[in-house]
Amino acid sequence: MGRILREGKRTVTVAMDHGIVGMIKGIENLDATITEIIDGGADALLVNPGVAKRFSEKISGKAGLIVTIPWDERYVEAAVRLGAEAVKTTYFGPIPLTIDSPILERFSAVGRGCDNWGVPYMAEVVPTDPKGRMIADVELIAKAARIGFEAGADIVKTSYAGTPDLYREAVKACPAPIVVLGGPRMDRDVDVLKIAREAVDAGAVGAAVGRNVWQHRSPAKMTRALVQIVHEGAKVDDAAKGLA
């Protein structure tokens, strides 16, 4: 965990596992983008197995490596052999889950696999509506975070609830550290920084941001701005000055 949650036990993780669905603008040139993100001071990169296989040596020693895997504990060993410091699974869907839901067993199986290999488990658990859109409902977000913890996650990635006071309720409901996700590309840089600032103020240990970093005109500058927010306690306006 010390390679993911670094200075002050906080993290700026850049999520780059979106390419599994095909080419997405901003990650066409992974080599160049990874270089920028590392130069910006990211604590960890979140990638798929293929990216880990190709770029683990480039990342090693400069940032933590989190590998996204399917809900199958057999993939934990494969991720560890690729150099993963943590593994992550993803669930976007209805919350809460029923006690007999097969999804719970999948979460738990990966958690057991991570325990067996001594590698931290990040569970991304995000409540969505029937059309797959994220729901900014604090009760559902709190339940989602708690599901991740109860299933064995060492760190939970979930969505923002809209205000620090609301998000604080989700943080309280989850004994495991929480990182806030960045979500879809936002029109204004300050909105990205605002979510990170407010989530940390509410007790989150950091942010795991993807498109709002590598689709930015300068991934290095946006990463650096998030580092200022999460690790240095910067105000949003002050961190945003470096993006000009």
pLDDT tens track for 53-108 = 999 999 999 999 999 999 899 999 999 999 999 999 999 999 999 888 999 999 99
Residue by residue, DSSP assigns 177-238 as -EEEE--SPPS-HHHHHHHHHHHHHTT--EEEE-HHHHTSS-HHHHHHHHHHHHHH---HHH
Confidence of residue 227 (pLDDT cuts 50, 70, 90): very high
Which token pair is 67? 């590998």
Confidence of residue 20 (pLDDT cuts 50, 70, 90): confident
Instruction: Find the largest Cα–Cα distance for the chain.
Output: 51
pLDDT at 7: 77
Return the sign of the alpha-carbon dihedral for residues 232, 155, 114, 87: negative
Q: How far apart are CA 22 and CA 154, in angstroms?
A: 29
65 φ, ψ to 5°? -115, 115
Which token pair is 181? 């996700």
HSE-CB for 223 with a 13 A CA cutoff: 26
Domain-wise residue ranges, the chain: 7-243
Report the SS3 class of residue 54: helix
Tokens 């103020």 — which residue? 201
Which token pair is 37? 């993100």
Residue 70, preceding bond cis, omega within 30 degrees?
no
- Percent helix, strand, coil in the chain, to 5, is 45, 20, 35
Residue 21 pLDDT > 90, yes or no? Answer: no
Which token pair is 40? 């910006």
Q: How far apart are CA 140 and CA 202, in angstroms?
A: 17
Which token pair is 19? 């390419």
Rounded mean pLDDT of the chain? 95
Which token pair is 51? 């990216």
Mean pLDDT of 119-137: 95
Mean pLDDT of 16-24: 89
Mean pLDDT of 117-134: 96
pLDDT at 216: 97
CB 67 within 8 A of CB 79: yes
Q: What's the pTM value of the predicted model, to 2 decimals? A: 0.95
Strand pairing category for 44-47 and 121-127: unpaired
* Closest-CA residue to 154 (of 227, 20, 64): 64
Class in CATH terms, 7-243: alpha beta
pLDDT at 12: 98
Confidence of residue 31 (pLDDT cuts 50, 70, 90): very high
Which token pair is 54? 């190709």
Confidence of residue 8 (pLDDT cuts 50, 70, 90): confident
